Each structure stands twice: as C-alpha cells, then as structure tokens.
Amino acid sequence: GQNIDQPTEMTATEGAIVQINCTYQTSGFNGLFWYQQHAGEAPTFLSYNVLDGLEEKGRFSSFLSRSKGYSYLLLKELQMKDSASYLCAVWDSNYQLIWGAGTKLIIKP
Amino acid sequence: KAGVTQTPRYLIKTRGQQVTLSCSPISGHRSVSWYQQTPGQGLQFLFEYFSETQRNKGNFPGRFSGRQFSNSRSEMNVSTLELGDSALYLCASSDGQGDTDTQYFGPGTRLTVL
C-alpha cells in the first residue's frame, strides 16, 4: 500500500526553528509537495521538490532525499501566524497525489 | 485571476438524501480534483477530471461520482448519503500538464449529514 507518515502534532516557540518530517512509501515518485492549512481554510501551496536537496523560499525550506523516502519542511523565525497544519503529499507513478494526515503546528509566545 | 470557488460553502442533509457540489477552477485550468477531508484522516482523493474526462479515481464507493463541463467547471454528486460522509469536500484546480502541476484549492464545502 501507499503510505505517508508525519507527526500528528508539534509545538514550538515564537522566533525559534522547527523541522517537520515526512516519510513516504509510494508506488513510484514524481515529486513531493508541502501545503499549509490554517484551521477552517483551504490548503495553500508552500513548496515542491522533485530532486534531492534543499529548496529555500524565505523563512521556509524543504528538503528531499529520494533514496530514503524522506522530506522535511524547515520553518525559521517562527511567527504566531505559522500556527497551522502542514500537509505532505507525494505524486506517485500515476501522477496521483497521496496525502499525509498533516502535522498540526502550535506556536507558543 | 480569481481563485477556485466552491458552492455551497455549507450544507446540511439527512441520511439517504443526495447532494451535488460545484467547483469553478481558476481560469485556464483544465484539471479539477476532488478530495474529502475528515479530522485525523487527511485528504482522501476522490477523482480528477481533465478536459471533461475522468483521469484518475480514488478508492471511494460508486455513490460518489463527478463530471466536468466544457468550461472546466466540475460537479461532484453523492447519492444515498451516510453519516460517515460528513466532511469537508475540497476541490483543487491545476493546468493539468507540465512537471509541477501545482494544485490550488477552493475554500471547500462543509457537508453535515444528520
């Protein structure tokens, strides 16, 4: 079967750094997405990785290791508005998106 | 460009009824995907339509069906509603081609089945 694992919940402090991990076992791989979803709102696109390595975009970075079936999302200089769920999704060999259950990130002052 | 729109935003139905949800994609996008989201379950893929054809399908029963019109607008229908169908239904549009094909989500329709 296809599976994506993320921690259910994480807590971090405003101004700090947090790393949200995602591991996957899928039928093939055509890319990995990270989305942010605030409570009661739609998911919004954060990043896309298809090659190994780190992609940096402002305070957010995403890393991929295809050989390990592993990705992480790194959030720096945390702000209260970063409190949200972070969803990891993988494109399988049929270009179907397989989604993780999401990681709820709680930011404390 | 206007974003993805979904109607209605909220819906209350009773068991056994049927429901139709609508999604209008971003102008120029030809692909529309539908998802069911429940607490703790994450996004469950229902189906994807591209140029009026179902291109991909998830593992949902036949009570869940959809279609796409020539203007790329899409509808999803659920017949014989069950309590377990209560969820947030999201649609996402993309251009359906290319390597990245980022999906952009609508605000969702929250369906409550009583």
For residue B19 the two structure tokens come to 């429901």
pLDDT band at A105 (very low <50, low <70, confident <90, very high): very high
Contact A97 B103 (CB under 8 A): yes
Q: What is the CA radius of gyration of chain B?
A: 13
Q: What is the pLDDT of residues B2-28, one digit of tens each?
A: 799 999 999 999 999 999 999 999 999
For residue B62 the two structure tokens come to 């036949």
Q: Which of residues 27-66 of B touch A (CB under 8 A)?
A: 33, 35, 40-45, 48, 56, 58
pLDDT of residue B99: 59
Q: What is the pLDDT of residues A69-92, one digit of tens each?
A: 999 999 999 999 999 999 999 988
The string of DSSP codes covering B24-49 is EPPTT--EEEEEEEETTTEEEEEEEE
Contact B106 A42 (CB under 8 A): yes
Number of DSSP helices (H) and strands (E) in chain B, helices first: 0, 11
**B103 interaction partners in chain A (CB closer than 8 Å):** 33, 45, 97
Lowest mean pLDDT segment, chosen from B5-9, B23-27, B47-51, B92-96: B92-96
Q: What is the pLDDT of residues A13-43, one digit of tens each?
A: 999 999 999 999 998 999 999 999 998 888 9
Helix (H) or strand (E) holding A11: strand A9-13
The alpha-carbon gap from A108 to the nearest alpha carbon of chain B, in Å, equals 22
The pLDDT of residue A95 is above 80: no
Q: Tell whether B84 is within 8 A of chain A (Cβ).
A: no
The pLDDT of residue B96 is above 90: no
Q: Any idea which residue has 């893929």 for tokens?
A: B45
Contact A96 B44 (CB under 8 A): no
The residue of chain A nearest to residue B97, with distances taken between CA atoms, is: A95
Please, are residues B30 and A75 in contact by the beta-carbon 8 Å criterion? no
pLDDT of residue B78: 97
Q: Tell whether B106 is within 8 A of chain A (Cβ).
A: yes
The residue of chain B nearest to residue A9, with distances taken between CA atoms, is: B40
pLDDT of residue A68: 96
Contact B45 A96 (CB under 8 A): yes
What is the DSSP code (8-state) at residue B94?
Answer: E
The alpha-carbon gap from A104 to the nearest alpha carbon of chain B, in Å, equals 10
pLDDT of residue B100: 64
